[in-house]
Copies of this chain bind each other. A is one copy, B any other.
Amino acid sequence: MTAKIRVAIAGASGVTGSSITNALLEDSDKFEVTALARPSSVNKPEYTKHAKRGAIITPVELKASSDLLVQAVVGMDVVISCMTLQQLDQEMALIEAVHTAGVGRYVPSWFGPCCPPRGVMLLRDMKEDILDHIKRLYLPYTAIDVGWWYQLSLPPLPSGKLDIKVEYSTTKIIGDGNTPWAVTDNRDIGKYVARIIADPRTLNKTVFLHGEVHTQNELWEILEKTSGESIPREYVSKEDLLKIITEAQAEISKGDMGRPAMASLGMAQYKYMLGIRGDNTLKHARYLGYLNAKELYPDVIVTPFQKYVEDVFHGRVKAAYS
Residues of A within 8 A of B (CB): 116-120, 129, 132-133, 135-136, 138, 204-205, 284, 287-289
Contacts A204-B289, A289-B204, A289-B289 given; indicate if A118 touches B132 (C-beta within 8 A): yes
CA distance A133 to B133 in the complex (A): 21
CA distance A135 to B118 in the complex (A): 9
- This chain: how many copies in the complex? 2
Contact of A116 among B119, B120, B129, B136 (CB under 8 A): B136
CA distance A117 to B135 in the complex (A): 8
CA distance A116 to B129 in the complex (A): 12
Residues in chain B near residue A119, CB distance under 8 A: 132-133, 136
CA distance A118 to B116 in the complex (A): 16
CA distance A118 to B133 in the complex (A): 8
Q: Are A288 and B116 in contact (CB under 8 A)?
A: no
Residues in chain B near residue A205, CB distance under 8 A: 289
* Minimum Cβ distance to chain B for residue A223 (Å): 31
Contact of A204 among B120, B204, B287 (CB under 8 A): B287
CA distance A138 to B289 in the complex (A): 12
CA distance A116 to B135 in the complex (A): 6
* Minimum Cβ distance to chain B for residue A129 (Å): 8
Q: Which residue of B lies closest to A141 (CB)?
A: B287
Contact of A138 among B132, B135, B287 (CB under 8 A): B287
CA distance A289 to B120 in the complex (A): 23
Q: What are 21 A-B pairs at a CB distance below 8 A? A: A116-B132, A116-B135, A116-B136, A116-B138, A117-B132, A117-B135, A118-B129, A118-B132, A118-B136, A119-B132, A119-B133, A119-B136, A120-B136, A135-B287, A135-B288, A138-B284, A138-B287, A204-B287, A204-B289, A205-B289, A289-B289
CA distance A129 to B128 in the complex (A): 13
* Minimum Cβ distance to chain B for residue A40 (Å): 33
CA distance A90 to B287 in the complex (A): 25
Residues in chain B near residue A120, CB distance under 8 A: 136
Q: Which residue of B lies closest to A118 (CB)?
A: B132
Q: Which residue of B lies closest to A277 (CB)?
A: B136
CA distance A117 to B284 in the complex (A): 21
* Minimum Cβ distance to chain B for residue A105 (Å): 13
Residues in chain B near residue A118, CB distance under 8 A: 129, 132, 136
CA distance A276 to B118 in the complex (A): 29
Q: Which residue of B lies closest to A117 (CB)?
A: B132
* Minimum Cβ distance to chain B for residue A73 (Å): 21
Residues in chain B near residue A116, CB distance under 8 A: 132, 135-136, 138
